[in-house]
Amino acid sequence: MKFGDLFFTAWKNQSQHFKAAGILLIHHGEFWKMNCKAIAKSTAALAIIVVILVAGLVGAFVYYSSLPSVPSGTMTTAGARVPGFVSTNTYVAESGDQFQWLDPAVSYYEYDYEILNNQFEKLLWYNGNSSTEIIPWLASDYSQVSPNQYVFHLRHNVTFQDGTPFNARAVWFSLNRL
């Protein structure tokens, strides 16, 4: 048996498997032709994928083209632009989430704490290098008197945003809200 005959016999046996799978092989034309139903299904699936991709690109283009432009501002002495909304004492932040409560006494939502950590100071804070080492923050020093009592020495010359002084009464009020 010659190599060509052996190849043709193997090819013929393989074509029987393809026929069972719905694929018609044409030996003399040197190309393989799939069943028309299989071609139609593949083309439809490809067309759906293309339509979804195009719709996503168009949607992204429409979304980003409809965003408001950056407000123009005045120039500072350093030459950097200051946005117009800075002069109105308004903080604008874009986020992928929405807060639930902006009250530290009620909120247990992780995203709220990301905002609250920028709005409220604490008596004590964690050292950035160690999650177990506590450092004084608004308290200049603290000590544990008994298992249930602590003494906090408060920082001087600290005020709230409205000018109210930070003192023991403010701490008492905040702790008793809990």
| pLDDT tens-digit readout, 44-61 | 999 999 999 999 999 988
User: By three-state DSSP, how is residue 98 classified?
Assistant: coil
How far is 113 from 37, CA to CA, in rounded Å?
57
Alpha helices in 33-79, H assignment, sequence order: 36-65
Residue 40 near residue 48, CB atoms below 8 Å: no
Strand, coil or helix: 2 = coil
Can you tell me the distance from the alpha carbon of 133 to that of 126, in angstroms, rounded to the nearest whole number?
A: 6
| Tokens, residue 77 | 């002495």
**Is pLDDT of 31 > 70?**
no
Q: What is the pLDDT of residue 89?
A: 67
Listed in sequence order, the DSSP H helices in 26-165 are 36-65, 110-116
pTM score > 0.85 for this model?
no
Q: What is the set of domains in the chain, with CATH numbers?
A: 3-65 (no CATH), 100-177 (3.90.76.10)
